[in-house]
Amino acid sequence: MTRAGRLTGAIALIGAMALAGCVQQRGDTTSLPTSGVYTVGSPYQLNGVWYYPAEDYSYDESGLASVAEPDSGGRVLTNGEIFDPAELTASHKTLPIPSLARVINLDNGRMVVVRINDRGPPTNGRLIHLSPRGAQLLDFNHSGVGKVRVQILAEESRAIAAAARQGTPAAILAKTDGPAPKAAPRGTVEADGPGAGPTVGKTASAGVVGLAPAPPASVPGAVVAGRFLPAPVVAQAPVSGRERLFVQVGSPANAERANQLRARLAALGQPASVSNTAVGKQRLQRVRVGPLDGVERADTVLNQIIQAGLTEAKIVIE
């Protein structure tokens, strides 16, 4: 069977299996299927920084990855799934749950696909929090931290999201979609044409819950306990292996704001550079401190800048 065929069949099964999954109690009142529900969530604050989860299917960022502890298996995740250190999963601060993301180790080019199924990492200076299996395949060399690029797989993520939605309570979906529209009144159905037959008194069908649409692209994997999980397949991406660490404090659209940020950083003893960049048709001014010598130094600078009130600061790699 082809890769596309494997994923097509796997995705088609998820919707039905999610509805029949076991139920995991979370707290005293909330029960979620352990096959996972679909959620985006509300803005939240972590160590003084606000994060804004969103359905961003164009996401492509670089930064530092952290690794979950091998003995942390069994805990309940944001969407009701149970964490398994041997699976290719990860937590992310803002991406939809579940979604699929490509993670590239920028030091060696090793690349895997992971399932995003939790919120995190628990610290501000990390972009993604990988399962031990994911870190092993990316060859982090037991350091616990790696330079990575994270790219959401848009069509595949939409497909597994559609499947997860089928087992998601309406109250949770309403937080993302807003209140469900009221159903239109059902009247009689009138058919035209030869052989239509009488329809008086017949009502419109309520429809059958459909299975998730098949994605246009393929990712090797399988349905495990009602969830699509990527297979442990490692690919190779071209990288220079010489990427450098920066703390990016902001990327305003005007030079005046960029110069204000640079002045605030100078007062902190952190000289910064301002460079032009383009995001789509918009021209931005990137304000950065660096390059910085190592992860420890980048963490120190980031924490100093956040504590000074510049909470949009983040570690980036270039």
Tens of pLDDT, residue by residue, the chain (318 residues): 454 444 544 444 444 333 333 333 333 324 677 778 899 989 999 989 999 999 999 999 999 999 998 877 788 898 889 999 999 999 999 999 999 999 999 999 999 999 999 999 989 999 999 999 999 999 997 778 999 999 999 999 999 999 888 878 788 787 777 665 565 555 544 444 444 444 343 333 333 344 444 443 579 998 877 789 999 999 999 998 889 999 999 999 999 999 999 999 999 999 999 999 988 888 999 999 999 999 999 999 999 999 999 999 999 999
Question: CA 301, CA 292: separation in Å to the nearest integer?
Answer: 9
Dump strand ranges (E) for 134-265.
Answer: 145-152, 221-224, 227-230, 235-236, 245-250
Give which of 68, 103, 98 is closest to 83, Cα–Cα. 68
Q: In this predicted structure, what is the pLDDT of residue 116?
A: 97
Could you give the residue range(s) of every CATH 3.30.70.1070 domain in the chain? 245-317
CB neighbours (10 Å) of residue 202? 13
Which of helix, strand or coil describes residue 69? coil
First to last CA, the chain: 39
Distance CA(88)–CA(137), nearest Å, equals 9
Nearest C-alpha neighbor of 64 from the set 154, 157, 130: 130
* pLDDT of the residue at 69: 86
Residue ranges, CATH 2.40.40.10, the chain: 39-157+227-236
Q: Tell me which amino acid residue 73 is.
A: G
pLDDT number for residue 179: 63
CATH, domain range 39-157+227-236: 2.40.40.10
- Separation of alpha carbons 198 and 292, rounded Å: 78
Task: Write b or e for each residue in 256-287: b if 16 or more Cβ atoms lie within 10 A of its Cβ, otherwise e.
Answer: eebeebbebbeeeebebebeeeeeeeeebbbb
DSSP strand pairing (282-292 vs 314-317): unpaired
Helix/strand/coil for 216:
coil
Specify whether the CB–CB gap between 175 and 42 falls below 8 A: yes
72, with CB counted inside 10 A (0-12, 13-18, 19+), is exposed
Q: What does the pLDDT read at residue 181?
A: 57
From CA 276, how far away is CA 16, in angstroms rounded? 49
CATH H superfamily, domain 245-317: Sporulation related repeat (3.30.70.1070)
How many angstroms separate the CA atoms of 309 and 207, rounded?
Answer: 53
Can you tell me whether residue 223 is helix, strand or coil? strand
d(CA 220, CA 5): 9
Q: What CA–CA distances, in Å, run from 180 to 170, 177, 183, 314?
A: 8, 8, 9, 37
